[in-house]
Amino acid sequence: MPKRYYAVRKGRKTGIFENWTECEESVKGYPGAEYKAFANREDAELYLKSIDQLEKYEDILSKGNQVIAYVDGSYNESLNKCAFGCVILTKEGEEQKFSSVIANNEIVSLRNVAGEIEGVKFAVKWACEKEYEKIIICHDYEGLSKWYYGEWQANSKYVKDYIEFLRSYSDFIKIEFKKVTAHSGDKYNELADLLAREALQNNPKMETGDSWITANSIEEEDFNVIIELLKEDFPELKLEKGNGLTEIVKYTLKLNEEKLVAHYYPSKRKIVVQGKPKLLFSSLLGYISEIVSPDELHKIYSTCVNLELDKNEVEREFHEVYLFNAKDKLPQKLAQTLRQAIYNLHIEGDMFDYTFIVFPALRALEGFIKYVLKGFNIVCYSNTFENIFERKNNGMYQLSKSCCSTIKNRDIISKLNKMYNFYHKNRHGLFHWSSFLKDEIDDSRVINSIDESKNLIREVLNFINEFYV
């Protein structure tokens, strides 16, 4: 029988024992005994040293606004799935535990490494949302830190995106890595490993928190224009703007119960926005998507909705699946918004309200109707389409007689009428709250099904594509 070493951290007598009888005498009946068997003395000694490590961590946490995060990954070959486990230690003495299965077939080939990478990303994002100033990431796979510090070359796109993700967050939180030895008895490293393995068995659903938009090459003037457009879209929007003690410009936007915080970095031409993925967040994302390149849009989506989708797949769907008739006939800004709508078709997960997913598609439909009308020198100055579409007795809308006489094409007139009625029905009900007056009918609604959201997006894409048939 192979020799075993028994390390006792808490018992009548602590230390390393070379037989079970001595170990049992130390721990049997002892309240809260902690002990473990190892195949070699070195691992047993590491297990005992982890007590000193915990005391050291408590000292570190007491000295600043920082957290310590343990991350680990796991892979199940029979399921062909990977997962991460994460334990976050806070200065308040809390042990926050998280885990999730990674729903991305493209990265499963990295096995447990993909889980560890996603665990790091989750921990950094969590700490930043909680406004901590520093995070110490404890990990057993050395690549996590060596990639970030440039000691290892990142060859795959997934790892390059991981590095870019951390760099984008490093503007807001200091990120430090600490290598730990796997399966050495470190309490929290083993707990992170256990959480990852249990996630593959139980397939838990991650709680959704704030999302982030990080966009580069944004001029401050362009962002201020976006703010003005949001104020036009939402007259009740409240805005606070200030510089503080640095060049960074901070914007705080509030719409009913929704709040966004945006930081603009003039020297870097970068905007970072934090908030829950609701109406205001999606509206802002829609405007930003109109002024960034396709590559930048892909990076934004990789971080803001944790969607690792190949941008080439979006382009393929844009050109070959949804907009093959319209692909060469659309202005650039409109095409960008439609790309965002196609991205949203790939969002998965449980949410309280799926309304925000539809917003880019309905904005694109509004823009497309205006684009078509402009081709006939009919200019619309607001999203109400006042004096352009008229409401009939049956509640439906039709182009005004003057517009019809200008267009003179029954097929185009019919398509515009169908598009506008669809737009008005959904845009008004989904993105405007009634004033809740006593005698007013509340026609506002939310979408509680992701399938309903995606069907609405597909209808918009079909309207635009079929227009050119």
In a domain, 44, yes or no: no
Residues 173 and 238 in one domain: no
Residue 113, pLDDT score: 81
Answer yes or no: are the C-beta atoms of 340 and 289 closer than 8 Å. yes
In a domain, 278, yes or no: yes
Residues 91 and 157 in one domain: yes
Residues 356 and 441 in one domain: yes
Residues 175 and 235 in one domain: no
Residues 375 and 246 in one domain: no
Residues 148 and 9 in one domain: no
Write phi, then psi, for 379 (nearest 5 degrees).
-100, 130
Expressed as residue numbers, the domain containing 182 is 49-202
Q: Which of 305, 325, 349 is the last residue of a domain?
A: 305
Residues 69 and 120 in one domain: yes
In a domain, 440, yes or no: yes
Residues 195 and 152 in one domain: yes
Residues 60 and 173 in one domain: yes
Residues 194 and 63 in one domain: yes
Please give the span between the terminal C-alpha atoms of the chain, in angstroms, as a whole number.
Answer: 79
CATH (domain of 119): 3.30.420.10
Q: Which two tokens stand for residue 30?
A: 């002892």
Beta strands, E only, 11-133: 15-17, 34-38, 66-76, 81-89, 95-101
Residue 243, pLDDT score: 67
Residue 415, pLDDT score: 96
Q: Which of 305, 334, 354 is the last residue of a domain?
A: 305
CATH (domain of 16): 3.40.970.10
The partner residues of 97 in beta bridges, in order of sequence, read 87
Residue 60, pLDDT score: 66
Q: What are the pLDDT tens digits along the chain (469 aa)?
A: 567 888 887 888 888 898 888 888 888 888 878 887 777 787 777 677 655 455 566 666 667 788 888 998 888 776 677 888 898 888 777 788 888 877 666 665 677 788 898 899 999 988 887 888 889 898 888 888 888 888 888 788 888 888 888 888 887 888 988 887 665 566 787 888 888 887 777 654 444 445 677 787 888 888 888 888 888 888 888 988 876 545 678 888 998 888 888 888 887 788 888 777 777 887 888 788 777 776 777 667 665 655 566 668 888 999 999 999 998 999 988 998 898 889 888 876 555 456 777 888 988 999 999 999 999 999 887 667 888 999 888 889 999 999 999 999 999 999 999 999 999 888 765 654 333 333 444 445 567 677 888 999 999 999 999 999 8
Instruction: Return the closest-CA partner of residue 356 out of 305, 302, 294, 409.
Output: 305
Contacts of 120 (CB under 8 A, 6+ apart): 69, 71, 137, 139, 144, 162, 166
The count of structural domains within the chain is 4
Residues 298 and 317 in one domain: no
Distance CA 118, CA 162 (A): 9
CATH (domain of 222): 3.30.160.690
Dihedral angle, C-alpha 123, 128, 179, 140, nearest 10 °: 10
Residues 136 and 227 in one domain: no
In a domain, 379, yes or no: yes
Alpha-helical segments (H) within 110-219: 112-129, 143-148, 157-169, 187-202
Write phi, then psi, for 72 (nearest 5 degrees).
-155, 160
Residue 428, pLDDT score: 64
